[in-house]
Amino acid sequence: MKRFGLEGCESFIPGLKSSIDKLVDLGFTDIIIGMPHRGRMNVLTNVVRKPLEVIFNEFQGKKVIDHKDEENVWGNSGDVKYHLGCSYQRAYENGKEVRITLLPNPSHLEAVDPVLQGRVRSEQHYLGD
């Protein structure tokens, strides 16, 4: 239960959301997040805005596509369902938009750093920056 909670990190979610808002004000259009277990479910639901229906269905081995259940799509993925990532395109009232991505956490070894670095570098190369 501890590895899913934010005990001692209660300000993490509002701080992360505030940081994202500031980055958008500065002109950022893509934010990629890599993180371990602790607080991951809270970030998925409250920051990246992955619907709870989708999360619960993934835990049951289903995937929701256009409000249709598809059995066993995730059932044989070989990984824990809260390791899966998600992206969300957020629009602001001022017309700015940001794509927030929480990368999959590939293992229980907390090896998300090289995955994050590879993703960011590949997007920079693709965009020509």
The tokens describing 110, both together, are: 């907390």
Residues in the chain: 129
- C-alpha to C-alpha distance for 108 and 98, rounded to whole angstroms: 29
Task: Give residue-wise pLDDT tens across range 106-118.
Answer: 666 567 778 888 8
Q: What is the DSSP letter of 2?
A: G
From residue 48, alpha-carbon distances to 17, 19, 43 in Å are 10, 13, 6
- Dihedral of alpha carbons 53, 102, 84, 2, sign: negative
Any idea of the CA torsion for 60, 54, 34, 98, to the nearest 10 degrees? 170
Q: What is the mean pLDDT of residues 82-103?
A: 88
Domain map of the chain by residue range?
Answer: 2-13+22-50+85-127
Q: Is the pTM of this model over 0.75?
A: no
At residue 57, φ and ψ (nearest 5 deg) are: -65, -35
- C-alpha to C-alpha distance for 17 and 48, rounded to whole angstroms: 10
Res 79: pLDDT: 55
- Whether the per-residue pLDDT at 97 is higher than 70: the answer is yes
Task: Give residue-wise pLDDT tens across range 35-88.
Answer: 877 778 888 888 888 888 887 877 777 766 554 444 444 444 555 666 777 888
